[in-house]
Structure formats: C-alpha cells, structure tokens
Amino acid sequence: MKHRKWLVLSSLLGVLVLVAAACNGDDDAGDNGDGDGATCPEGDTCVEIGAGEPIRVGTLLVITGENASLGLDSQHGVELAVDYWGDEAFDGTAGQLAGHDIELVNEDEGCSAEGGTAGATALASDPSIVAVVGTSCSSAGEPAAQILSDAQVSVVSPSNTAPSLTDPATHQEFYLRTAHNDKVQGAAMAQFVAEELGVTTAATIHDGSPYADQLQQVFADTLTSEYGGEVTTQEGIAVGDTDFGPLLNSIAADSPEFLYFPIFVAEGGLITAQAREIGGLDDTDLGGADGMLTPDWLDAAGADSAEGVFLSGPDLGFAGGFYEADFIPAYNDQFGEPTSVFHAHSFDAASMIFQALEEVAIEDGDGLLIPRIALKDALFSITGYEGIVGTLDCTPTDDAIGDCNAGATITVSEVQDGDFEVVWP
C-alpha cells in the first residue's frame, strides 16, 4: 500500500519556490550550508542535518503508568512507520528518508498537563528534532501544542480528540491530528443510546481533563437538543480518586437509564466495579469511550463488572486490505496484540510527517536543510492522502484547523464474554 498520493499543485509550487530560494544564494536568506550555496529560505528556520547524520523525529506519548497501553500502542505504530518507509516493507529495518536514517527520540507525556509540558519542553529545546508525533492525551496535548508551536516544531497527534485543540479560537499554529474530533464521538454516542437503547435520561462523569470534560458535554448537549433526552446530572471527579460510592449513590437517586463516564483506565475501572454494587443502578446501562477501550481497563474493572459495558471509539474496520493483510501481522509479529485503538492513526501521522519532510528537504552537499515553516505548510497542504484510517485532508476550515480526519466514523462496542464486540452501527 502506498501513502504518497497527495501532491497538490499548491505544495508543488511551494517546493519550487523553496528550491529557487535555496539555490540563488540570496544574502538575506543566510548560508546555513557547508559552503556549496544551499541556504535556508528567507523568513524560515532550518534544521541542519549533516552528512551521515539521522533525521530525528520526536514522539511524545504516554508510555509508562496506568495509561501506558494507550501510548505504547501508538508508539508501536510510529515504529512500524519508520520500518515501512522507503522500501514499503515490514522487514524490521528502519527506513531512510532522503538518504538519511530516521531516528526516534521518545518522551513520556504521562497523560497529564505536567507531563506534556515537560516532554514538549525537552523536545523543543533540542534543535535537531524536526517534528513530533504526539500527544496521546488531550490534557498533555494542550500545553505541548503551544510549546512546540512556539518553537516552530510541527506536531501531529494520533489520539488527541478534545475539540478545543482544533477549534480556530484555541488552535496552536503547528498542531494537527489524525484522530477524530470528539464533536463526532460525543454525538455518535448520544445517537446510539437514544436510537438503539431507547435512553431518555442519562448522567455523566468526567475527570476534569479536556478529553473527558468536552466529550461528555458534547454527549449531553446532543442527547438533550437532538433527541429530547434529559441529563440528570454531570459530575466531576479528580484523577487519583478511589472511592466513588457516595457519588454513585447520589447519581442513582435520579435513576438515569444510562451513565456515561468517558475517562481513563484506573478511575474508569473503579467506577465500573463500584457502580455494579449500587442497587439503584441495577437498571442503568454503563458506558465509556476510547480512553477505556483497552484490555487494561477490563482488568481494572474485573471481568464480571465490565460485561455489558458500552464503549465508543474509532471505527477500525478500515477499507482496503493493507491493515488486515500487512499492518496487523507486522504489529503482531513485532509487538504482540494491539493494546489500544490508535496504532493505525499513529502510523499515518508519522508517514505524513515523512512525506512532508521528503517534500521540503533541501540538499546541502551530503546533508540536508529542513525548513520548519515550510514543513508545517506542507502538512497543512495535505489533501487526498490515502492513509490506513481513510482519506486524510488537513486543509483548515472555518470550523477546525488541523483536523486531518474530519470524516472519521465512530463505532460502539459492548463487552461480551470478556472481549470488545462492535455492536453499532
């Protein structure tokens, strides 16, 4: 499967302009090369890659702790993209880009604002980093997007879903994502519970993160405005809380037909298990989202408690045979079974970056110059890119900037016999 189908006229013209600038020896551009006349385009900043040096791409994902299953799954997707690039084969050998090895520099964002800040600061302070795949969690993504954008480092997230990250009012200039927008996921879950479960009343719980708070709000707004439902209460918890009995008893007093808690593994597992012990919730269906769509959550909740829970997430029924015939066998061979649902999104995120790097790289003798602004512009010029997750289009719109996967579809899975089974649509 090839992933190089988005060369549009505007980006081609941009390359011609950059090459002309690089070759004309314009004194205003400055000579960043080794004396052969290659220059960084005027007004841009270039990463200099010497002869024999690797092209260094950062990752900023949650790779330790209770939510590591989410980030490691994406990390493996990036590693497979490095493997596949250049020779289009999963042979366990890192590919080359413009004659240079690709090297990953991995930081852990901890699924927190603090971790996102620390990891982004480390990557932004390294002048050799050309771009970043990250973050896993929207709470880390908000500060990371600003820090990396301020440093003119392009960042493409495989699993940030908070609407705020691509909202024109709050978007950071160098940020894009291949994940869906939770405006889509929240509305889809509301449609499912209203049309398929016949739900008219629901309650929600969030953990204060941009992901959970914004997702449950879209769900609540859609259920009430489009389906005439009632949201009995919207409650917040803190990450690290362990005793949810009083909160769940309070929610049960209003007898909601559905309880939606789109949070993460640890708290999500505890809420699931403790809700099963609340008599007033015996007739209440439970639901979460992709932050819990991992075997780690099944373990945290316990098999009996998890049974029958509904979870929304990205549709993994990708068109074409590449995912099932090539990608997943390579993933299984190198890493075992996937631990979350964004491995294909991260493969596409990294591959988009590699394509854009190949487009804008300026030869400098045996080395390269990578213009940072030109790289960002090349990413935002992507249209019609045939990725695993679908046809990606990163063109900004009036409603969103950086949503490359605006056409994403959402499925709902139910835990049946200890496994996630897609039940809708």
Dump pLDDT digits (tens) for 330-385: 999 999 999 999 999 999 999 999 999 999 999 999 899 999 999 999 999 999 99
Token pair belonging to 349? 């995120």
In the chain, the largest separation of any two C-alpha atoms, in whole Å, equals 77
pLDDT band at 37 (very low <50, low <70, confident <90, very high): low
Same domain, 260 and 215: yes
Q: 3 lies in a domain?
A: no
Question: What's residue 161's pLDDT?
Answer: 98
pTM for this predicted structure: 0.91
* Domains of the chain: total: 2
Same domain, 291 and 215: yes
Same domain, 222 and 347: no
| Residue that finishes a domain, picked among 268, 287, 308 | 308
Q: 45 lies in a domain?
A: yes
In this structure, the strands spanning 201-206 and 258-260 are: parallel
Same domain, 58 and 118: yes
Q: Tell me the average pLDDT across 313-342.
A: 96
Cα separation, 322 vs 334, in Å, equals 17
Note whether 387 and 378 are within 8 A (CB).
no
Same domain, 17 and 137: yes
* 245 has pLDDT over 80: yes
Cα separation, 411 vs 409, in Å, equals 7
**Domain range enclosing 189:** 183-308
Q: 407 lies in a domain?
A: no
Same domain, 222 and 251: yes
Same domain, 336 and 370: yes
Same domain, 79 and 111: yes
Which residues make beta-bridge pairs with 231?
A: 202
Instruction: Strands of 261-377 (E only): list them.
Output: 285-288, 310-314, 362-364, 367-371
pLDDT band at 14 (very low <50, low <70, confident <90, very high): very low
Note whether 129 and 114 are within 8 A (CB).
no
pLDDT band at 1 (very low <50, low <70, confident <90, very high): very low
Same domain, 291 and 359: no
| Residue that finishes a domain, picked among 308, 343, 373 | 308
Note whether 123 and 107 are within 8 A (CB).
yes
Nearest to 129 by CA among 112, 115, 147: 147
Q: 212 lies in a domain?
A: yes
Q: 35 lies in a domain?
A: yes
Q: 211 lies in a domain?
A: yes
Q: How many CB atoms lie within 10 A of CB 5?
A: 12
Same domain, 78 and 155: yes
Same domain, 367 and 288: no
Give the CA dihedral 272, 276, 278, 284, nearest 10 degrees: 80
Question: What's residue 319's pLDDT?
Answer: 80
CATH of the domain at 323: 3.40.50.2300
Q: 89 lies in a domain?
A: yes
Q: 399 lies in a domain?
A: no
Cα separation, 129 vs 244, in Å, equals 43
- The residue to which tokens 């362990």 are assigned: 242
Same domain, 175 and 187: no
Cα separation, 332 vs 281, in Å, equals 39
